Structure 1
Amino acid sequence: MRAPEIIIKLIQGYRIPFFQKPPLVYPNVIKNPFQTPVSEVMSGIVQDMKKQGILKVAPNAPSFISPLFLVPKSDGSLRPIFNLRALNEYVIAKPFHLININRIPDFLQHQDWMCKVDLSQAYFHLQIKESQRRFLRIIYNQELLEMTCLPFGLSSAPRTFSILTNWLAQSLREKYNIRILVYLDDFLIAHQNVCTLQEHVELAVKTLQKLGWRINFEKSIICPQKSITYLGVLWDPWKKSKISSERKNCHVNQKIKSCLRKKKAKLKGIAERSRCLEFCQFCCSKRPAPSSKLINVYEHCIKAPTEDAHLTRRSPARVEVVDSQLPVVDAPTLPATKKLFSYRCIGPSVESTIEQYGSLGHLERGRASSILIQSDNKTAVAHLRKEGGTKSKPLMEITYKILNLLDRHQIHFSIHYIPGKHNNHADHLSCHRHPPEWHLLPSCVETVFAKWGTPVIDLFASKMAHVVYNYVSRDVKDTQALFHDAFSTPWNYPLAWVFPPPFLVPKVLAHLNQSTGIFLLVVPRWEKVFWRADLKVRALAAPMSLKNLQNHLVDTSTGHPPPNVENIILEVWKCGGGPRR
């Protein structure tokens, strides 16, 4: 497995990124607060770490001493963690993003089988350069010891370790076409076929073990399951549901009840409980109180403490999902492809748009269903997604007006912000301009048709941009379209042209599971997206690259090529419908 230079350097030994060298002192001048307290449990763990080579005796030389403490893990065992708060003041902690639960619905497909692989003592797989170990020393029972591996507690450790495991996941996608996601040391693998999934899990486990990683088989689930707990959520693609796990419910209950007993909370505690409620918001069919009004919730619960029963685990919340994009709460029992109605509202603000939507009677018609909100305003998206904020009181009031309006009609909403150069739909809508649409000119399309044939339908098109006579449009006012909303029905065509907006590609791939025929799917060449492995498995032929797009690609709203078109490469994939085997 060929690794990039950054991975090779990490494997050779990690160097802590200091912006200033921390001060070193001789161990004999260290006072008790910096020494690790002696206990029977700690002695056993230290002894085990010495046997495994994680800790070793250090020479009596200038050192940076930090205490060691223990925290309980989910399985009841204890994890040793360095209290490196003082050392972290000298460490460069670059910002980074880990995958979160909001990405999982895009990854999972209806009737997926799933497995997960968990690494044992994950951070300890990465060695620290010998010259850096003097900054990771402890004094325990009058003995000077140093860490030889990446410790829990170092501010740069999560980013460093995620670089390593993300590369592993990407390598498995490229080499074996495995559909896989990873959160630090926790891998999630999925496939439509149970036998293929079993093969993929075996390949993943063998590859990890071959590279020297230790698998925690007690926490791993290597037998394919229809439902699985990942990142604290019980996912069930067969029932299209997501439920907070029993352990997570207990954790939230304990946090809230602890606050109710004390009748007061520190700012740090409020922030922690706020995160718990944000998690509940994702899993629960009825939204909890907004985290930004947590203090008011506490005061109300103190006056009427029995109302905390809404948070008990005796009535677990359930969310049913119609598709990977729009979760529907308490949805009527309709087929997943049933289209109730479609309407697009454009207003100067999110609030006015929803009010316009309601004044036309659509909120009443859409009772107990779901709507999608798109915005190019990060602040507006953040306030609605988190159900409030602390920076702007007027925006808070607008947020609650929107939430009350939606709650009154029992409507669940999903809000999206699409960053980067592909954030054009929301931008054009907010400016009252015709929404952009990428269209490949005949000079380019005819080359594709000459190789693979002429499609009978264009599934993502408009009156202004379609490559064949029959097309599907998102514009309900377009009377020339064969029908509206491509996802409203299964696709059964001998050959179809599919050129969706990039953010809809995971949804398109999931929709292919219930479709038949051949599809020419046009997507950007993005090597590291999780859906590329699924795309490669579906391919019936090698992709056809479309370059020099400045001469072949136009935005129909402007008549000119899209911004930064010289940096864009599109690929046409010939894919088959139906679930992958």
Structure 2
Amino acid sequence: MFHAPLPQHRQWTCLFSAREKKGCRPLDLDLPRSLVPLLPPGLSSTSSPKRTTVDTREGTKVVGGRLRFFTDSWIRLGAPPALVKIISGYSIPFSARPPLAPLGISPQFCTPVSPEMSAHIRSMQATGVLTPIHTGSGFLSRMFLVPKGDGSTRPVLNLKRLNLFLSPRKFQLVSQFKIPSFLQQGDYLIKLDLSQAYFHVPVKETHQRFLALSYNGTLLAMTCLPFGLATAPQAFASLSNWVASLLRKRGMRVVVYLDDFCLANQDPLVLKEQGRQVVLLLEELGWIVNFPKSSLTPSPALQFLGIMWDPHQDLKWLPLVKQEVLRNLILSLLHVKVWELDSARSLLGHLGFASFVIPLGRLHSRRVQRQAMRLRPLQPVPIHSSVLSELDWWLGSLGLGSSIFPREFKSFVSTDASDLGWGAQVNNTSQAGLWPAEQRDWHINRKEMYAVRQALSLNLARLKDSAVMIQSDNQTVVSYLCRQGGTRSLALLLVSTPSPAVQHTHISSVYPGDVELICRQPVPTETPPRLASPFPGNSTHISEMGGPSRGSVCLQGFSHCSQVCDTSLDRSASPLCRCILKGLGLPPCLGIPTSGSHAPSPAPPEQCQGPIHRGGSPLGEGVLEARPDDQGHPSSHSDHRSGQVPDRPNNGEAPTQGGIPAFGGMACAGWMEETAAWEPADKQLLLTAWRPSTLRTYQAPWRRWLSWARKHGVVPNDPSPSDLGRYLCSLHRVEKLAYSSILVHKSVVCTFAKPSQSALLSSHPLVTHTLKAISSLSPRPARKIWSVNSLVDWIRANPPCPSSHFQTSRHVALLLLLSSGRRVHDLTLLSLEPGFFQVFENFIVFWPRFGAKTDSNTHAQSGWKILSDPNNHLFDIPSWIQKLVNLSLLRSGAIPLLSLFISTRGRVRPASRSVIAGWVKTALAAAGIQASAGSVRSAVSSFKFDAGVPLDSILRQGNWQGGQNFFKFYYKPISGPRPTPTSVPTVLNSFEPV
């Protein structure tokens, strides 16, 4: 395979296959008539011998990086310079330079040899995708095979380690949710697929060494865009999206998802011609069209993005192949009636995709989601009966389809509920009812949902087979209707009832009550004195009159001011209200103002007693009264993990010296002003966002900031960037603090002084350049970390006494830190309670309690699987844990033993982080290591990395969420000889994350 430019027109490039070398005769291909004006001067569509064309049939040309030979065509058709740069040679956009290593035959990075992999390697070498690499250093990765939809496999380079040095920007691909807005009723469809699309894009030659692999003793590198690179989808999508925009400019309706093009047109003949032109354009740009996977014959129904679309019948459904895959998955679960976390995730992934097509599929997935949230890895449990019933429903619904296009609303339903009853208006019919005794204590969200259910159930005959718009003033109800249920409230999910052909919507409004105004058509009445709502339009006028801008202000004394008097929220007796009251046997107007009784109070608004209602409706405490706060359902929720208590005690507001209120021990913090109207329980919840040790660490820098601010006349909770810059200079020049300490002080001020301006203050040029100047004057010296072998040798020379509780506790803590590479704080989360501790024949498993530094609502620390080592008694962690448990039981006596580590002297209680750190530090000092207990994490991870352990394995074991922090803060060169794979102590291999 080679290329040569024609002498007549150097801007055109010709490719020849091996069998054409002898005659050097270019293959000919006519261009469509629409492209004739775009040909170079002097060429025409009939002068094919004078222009260069290429054979782009699949399998006839080199695929790897072939777009670089067609840059002239891209430029001539108006491709942006950024795209031309990509097809000329893609530069991998590294955010940090990856570490390069000598390209030897390293066993841990060799691709496993198999006949199927060998066939792929030979094919990729033949098509120019892989080439031998001769550079001295590079970045090795493994290649593996993933199954494709047609039963074949696709080679993917495992670039997980390399992706740690990339920071891909966010972008969005076309999904199945966008296709209905693209299609039109009566469309005919065709689609085109590109063959080995990623491999068309070349990679810059100097960056190919980052895509190296070792297979069967041969070092190879990819010459083109690989699967698995984090930035590859965005780079390729920019190319295919530009091609699609070029087609749209020529009057074609097209949508593209990476390498899949779908065209639509009302006329099948026009669509067929458009398909021919698209093929010619793609080939002119250098793409190879995969004709076996393409469908160029216009059809009323077509499969695209895994879904069958039929715009003629207004129907979409799952293809038979996907139905069969999901059916087999469900049948296997129904047969064994046991599942665990991985199988649940696989099932939910399939159900989530199918729910887009199958009516009410999302509603029938909610029970599955609720039960899956309780599963743990590697713990099979019986499938709940509610899940089994939902799976039965799915089996009978896989063949169902749904409409593509939105239906026209033919019916309108308005509902509302209060503590006394519910009301609804369906078209021109009004209905109402009182709550029976068993429903009066329901949460208001459940009552609102029941009102919708009753309105639909009582009028099902009239609403059947019609699209219904539902108007409600309850956001939770609207969310449950639009999203077909939810997972937070089982009671609300049970009340949610499916209704065929019903669409739910919500009239968005700034103020509660707007929906009622739209539904009820209020009649004018005299407005009684009430409170003005604190919305932005009123805050300015309220402040001008001396009132608080954040609270409600009684309008009785200011009724003459039209700007302040808020009459838009007045709830008057509309026809719907009067109908509901009449149905309940109540007078149409009770004449009880909602806030007039509170108006004469001379006390500030926050001291007024009793509920304050927003509107002045004459309904008063009638059916549709303003609802008081439900004490049984607070607005804030703590972590809902069952049986787990966060190891983050509350740091409530405590007055500092002088009686000044403090936030987390920091007086005058800006968070005090931001949370002035919060409930104490909500403030306590907010404080758990910081670890207690972090808040204690921040208190000293905050006191230093307060002292400096008083001395220089600066408002401590409203500093300017100039004030912060001066403060940082003072810390450097006067206080003589280290650069790392100055960074902590800067973080404290930005975080706690004025939270709303935190990001702006931290990123201001005055602040960033001040820090840059300080760092340049005090460069950070190169630091090394101690070798793990030093501590292991000390343990061998100083075995613990099995009868000493202190020595056994310290020994177990050292072994767990060495084997896992976790934080010292994580040891305090190891519990002996049922469900958190499991004993097996050859290993034990800990499931740490919630409270690790990386724990959140979306991420939890993995389990600890500790392997036995019977041949090495001193480092057999499970046996030493058993000894520690026995000693702790003797010490605790009648006190229940809940934590793995307890205090070794004084009162029996769980050992804190500082206590365990003290144990570890005594061992380090005895071993001649002058370092903190937290340095064990850095020492273990650095030792493993230098010994050749894969980075992704280190990150999983150490509970890191990414490699950036590892290289920035933890990895340091080892002091002493560089470790090798054979020098890794066995204790470092005794831990597996689960």
Which TM-score bucket, shorter chain as reference? 0.5 to 0.7
Distance, in Å, in 2 between the alignment partners of 1:189 and 1:263 is 44
1:49-128 alignment to 2 at 5 Å?
49-128=124-203
Aligned to 1:221: 295
- Alpha carbons 1:71, 1:80 under 8 Å: kept: yes
SS in 1 for 2:171: coil
Distance, in Å, in 1 between the alignment partners of 2:329 and 2:196 is 27
Aligned to 2:255: 181
- Alpha carbons 2:194, 2:259 under 8 Å: kept: yes
Aligned to 1:370: 467
* Cα displacement (A) at 1:150: 0.7
SS in 2 for 1:135: helix
Please tell me whether residue 27 in structure 1 is matched to residue 103 in structure 2: yes
Distance, in Å, in 2 between the alignment partners of 1:415 and 1:118 is 38
Distance, in Å, in 2 between the alignment partners of 1:347 and 1:182 is 47
Write the letter of the residue equivalent to 1:55.
Answer: L
CA RMSD of superposed structures (Å): 3.6
SS in 1 for 2:228: coil
Write the letter of the residue equivalent to 2:406.
Answer: Q
- Alpha carbons 1:13, 1:128 under 8 Å: kept: yes
Please tell me whether residue 166 in structure 1 is matched to residue 241 in structure 2: yes
* Cα displacement (A) at 1:253: 2.6
Aligned to 1:17: 93
Q: How many residues align?
A: 406
Residue segments in structure 1 that go unaligned for 5+ positions in a row: 327-336, 417-424, 436-476, 478-581
The verdict on how the C-alpha distance between 1:386 and 1:96 changes in structure 2, with shifts beyond 3 A counting, is farther
* Cα displacement (A) at 1:89: 1.5
* Cα displacement (A) at 1:93: 2.2
Aligned to 1:317: 400
Distance, in Å, in 1 between the alignment partners of 2:233 and 2:144 is 19
Please tell me whether residue 341 in structure 1 is matched to residue 424 in structure 2: no
1:132-531 alignment to 2 at 5 Å?
132-174=207-249, 176-260=250-334, 264-287=338-361, 289-291=364-366, 293-294=368-369, 296=371, 299-300=382-383, 308-312=391-395, 316-321=399-404, 324-326=405-407, 340-342=410-412, 364=460, 365-371=462-468, 387=484, 393-394=488-489, 398=492, 400=493, 404-405=496-497, 407=498, 409-413=499-503, 426-427=508-509, 432=514
- Alpha carbons 1:115, 1:221 under 8 Å: kept: yes
The verdict on how the C-alpha distance between 1:385 and 1:166 changes in structure 2, with shifts beyond 3 A counting, is farther
Residue segments in structure 2 that go unaligned for 5+ positions in a row: 1-76, 373-380, 419-443, 519-574, 576-994
SS in 1 for 2:411: coil
Distance, in Å, in 2 between the alignment partners of 1:15 and 1:191 is 38
- Alpha carbons 2:478, 2:504 under 8 Å: kept: no
Greater per-residue strand proportion: 1
* Cα displacement (A) at 1:144: 0.4
Aligned to 1:40: 115
Distance, in Å, in 2 between the alignment partners of 1:375 and 1:120 is 51
Aligned to 1:577: none
Distance, in Å, in 2 between the alignment partners of 1:234 and 1:350 is 38
* Cα displacement (A) at 1:359: 5.4
The verdict on how the C-alpha distance between 1:3 and 1:412 changes in structure 2, with shifts beyond 3 A counting, is same
Please tell me whether residue 2 in structure 1 is matched to residue 78 in structure 2: yes
* Cα displacement (A) at 1:267: 3.7
SS in 1 for 2:356: helix
SS in 2 for 1:235: strand
1:108-148 deviations in Å (ceiling 9; x for gaps):
11111000011110111111111111110110110000001
Write the letter of the residue equivalent to 2:514.
Answer: H
SS in 2 for 1:105: helix
Distance, in Å, in 1 between the alignment partners of 2:339 and 2:410 is 46
* Cα displacement (A) at 1:269: 4.1
* Cα displacement (A) at 1:61: 1.5
- Alpha carbons 2:318, 2:398 under 8 Å: kept: no
* Cα displacement (A) at 1:316: 0.9
1:318-337 deviations in Å (ceiling 9; x for gaps):
2235xx224xxxxxxxxxx7
- Alpha carbons 1:82, 1:151 under 8 Å: kept: yes
Q: What TM-score, normalized to structure 1?
A: 0.62
* Cα displacement (A) at 1:235: 0.7
Distance, in Å, in 2 between the alignment partners of 1:307 and 1:401 is 13
Write the letter of the residue equivalent to 1:366.
Answer: L
Higher relative contact order (CA 8 A, sep 6+): 1
Distance, in Å, in 2 between the alignment partners of 1:305 and 1:287 is 15
- Alpha carbons 2:413, 2:470 under 8 Å: kept: no
Write the letter of the residue equivalent to 1:226.
Answer: P
* Cα displacement (A) at 1:415: 6.0
1:178-230 deviations in Å (ceiling 9; x for gaps):
11111111111101111111121111111111100111100100000010011
SS in 2 for 1:87: helix
- Alpha carbons 1:64, 1:137 under 8 Å: kept: yes
- Alpha carbons 1:250, 1:313 under 8 Å: kept: no
Aligned to 1:570: none
Higher Cα Rg, which structure: 2
The verdict on how the C-alpha distance between 1:215 and 1:374 changes in structure 2, with shifts beyond 3 A counting, is farther
The verdict on how the C-alpha distance between 1:137 and 1:315 changes in structure 2, with shifts beyond 3 A counting, is closer
* Cα displacement (A) at 1:303: 9.1
The verdict on how the C-alpha distance between 1:360 and 1:46 changes in structure 2, with shifts beyond 3 A counting, is closer
- Alpha carbons 1:277, 1:291 under 8 Å: kept: no
The verdict on how the C-alpha distance between 1:46 and 1:27 changes in structure 2, with shifts beyond 3 A counting, is same
Distance, in Å, in 1 between the alignment partners of 2:503 and 2:334 is 30
- Alpha carbons 1:126, 1:149 under 8 Å: kept: yes
Write the letter of the residue equivalent to 1:341.
Answer: S
* Cα displacement (A) at 1:172: 0.7
SS in 1 for 2:355: helix
The verdict on how the C-alpha distance between 1:183 and 1:344 changes in structure 2, with shifts beyond 3 A counting, is farther
